Structure 1
């Protein structure tokens, strides 16, 4: 599997001594799912219906039949074989462990059944906040977006503080309004980052590209924000530095595509797509286990 970093090699001082590389905001553990520190919340709180993604129906608040007593999945290595494709594309962005260990201070819904309903209700809220945190962190990793870094830092600190609030405060958060405040900063960061890309940058923002044949397309620095890319053929496409925030990439063919430095690309988007060993992604993103070798 090929993995690339979008960051430049560590700079070297005049003395020849390497300067420590700045840590990535987006790669910090707080923004990555840690199932070992979670009470299996996504396996209980969230509903799903029998479909191509799930073999059975499950209502919200009902534990999945595969959830073990230790909160681990009993078929984790065989999810796709058992028809649970939906589980393999889900990512809580660290919300599960934050709700488990911060909001409810490490006391599970099995230990305190009376807390179950509140725990399950607050998970989707914290997940949305963590996703917004992830995007903000990714913007802070863009050197070209320095003009808005100060505002992005303030936004990050504000959102992070919200994720650590009480259940009552979290349930009262207007996530849509908050997203409306942060989105202009993310858009400006994207514009600044893509402005340094040479050549003409295509604009497919919000475009319906379902099933589109874009094999080998030159889309470096393009805006694909909110684009519908379901089942689109983007094999061997150049998507370096393209803005993919909110793009629907279910069953998108990314075999051989170059996604190094793609802006606001998330692991769930990759998980929902199809790729192979030639697909290039940047750390901390990874090739999904179900991709072709």
Structure 2
């Protein structure tokens, strides 16, 4: 890969709501909670879904209690199902495709998430020894996402995730090994509400850690492995997440940060973060 080319920044791995049939607003269920103000069953269109598949309250989601919508990212799965799997024919145009479309979308979303993580690993220079296997995995998953609805629906995602995770783990270890100093291991740790203000966590393993409502303000999380970390309501004000491994936009969207929080491109500060 050249320095100017990024796997993870590929357009196909970014949600394009304008090319989707509002699948996340229809196929997925949600329950009344702090994330949603009402209950909605899977397959039932959200009451805010417009005829053009846009959201009627997109600019006011948090004000209306739909916090869950603002932290969701399909990683491009929505347009893949809409435009590739079902060739641009919506569930409104072809009601007979509705059930199949709703079954395929959650699987496709998981496949695109795996593509995103694999792409991020391919962007790590230190993980070069694993790149050949990662490229094969990427091509395999990408091929599955372009197959028939039946093939996508029947993919054993758990088995595939297990195979890919072994590669991601190795890539993360190689990247963290290049970071100077001793690295902390908080893999899978329950750090809910933990007071970690200003913590020195550069190059740490935070894989799968529960960081719900943890205080990581001012913490050094550079090059830390954050794959699968639950960062709902995590305080990241003033934290440095430059080069954080496998960090995704949904994780940032679920957390709390401010203008001092540092993240690497293409990640962005969520609009609801404090100035």
TM-score, normalised to structure 2, is 0.99
Matches within 5 A, 1:133-172: 133-172=115-154
> Aligned partners of 1:200, 1:21: CA distance in 2, in Å?
28
The offset of 1:237, in angstroms, is 0.3
CA distance, structure 2, for counterparts of residue 79 and residue 149 of structure 1: 40
1:90 maps onto 2:41 in alignment: no
What are the Cα deviations for residues 71-118 of structure 1, in whole angstroms up to 9, with x where unaligned? 000000000000001100000010000000000000000111111111
Gaps of 5+ in 2: none
Secondary structure of 1:45's match? Answer: coil
Q: Give the structure 2 partner of residue 274 of structure 1.
A: 256
Alpha-carbon distance in 1 for matches of 2:267, 2:17: 17
Q: For this pair of structures, how many residues does the alignment match?
A: 274
TM-score (norm. length: structure 1): 0.93
Provide the rounded CA distance (Å) in 1 between the counterparts of 2:117 and 2:3: 21
Aligned to 2:93: 111
CA RMSD for the aligned pairs? 0.7
Q: Find the counterpart in structure 2 of residue 180 from structure 1.
A: 162
- Which 4+ runs in 1 deviate beyond 3 A? none
Written as runs of structure 1 = structure 2, the 5 A alignment for 1:1-80 is 21-80=3-62
Gaps of 5+ in 1: 1-19
1:262 aligns with 2:244: yes
Output the CA distance in 2 between the equivalents of 1:109 and 1:168.
16
Relative contact order (alpha carbons < 8 A, sep ≥ 6): 1 or 2 greater?
1
Counterpart CA distance in 2 for 1:180 and 1:120 is: 24
Within 1, Cα distance between the matches of 2:38 and 2:191? 31
Shift of 1:179: 0.6
**Residue equivalent to 2:266:** 284
* Cross-structure match for 1:9: none
Q: Distance in 1 between matches of 2:222 and 2:163?
A: 27
CA distance in 1, matches of 2:51, 2:29: 19
User: Secondary structure in 1 aligned to 2:43?
Assistant: coil
Partners of 2:137 and 2:188 in 1: CA distance: 25
What is the CA deviation profile of residues 123-163 of structure 1, one whole-angstrom value per residue up to 9, with x for unaligned ones? 00000000000000000000000000000000000000001
User: What is the CA distance between 1:171 and its match in structure 2?
Assistant: 1.3
Residue 172 of structure 1: how far off its partner (Å): 1.1
CA offsets, 1:223-244, max 9 Å, x none? 0000000000000000000000
> Equivalent residue for 1:253?
235
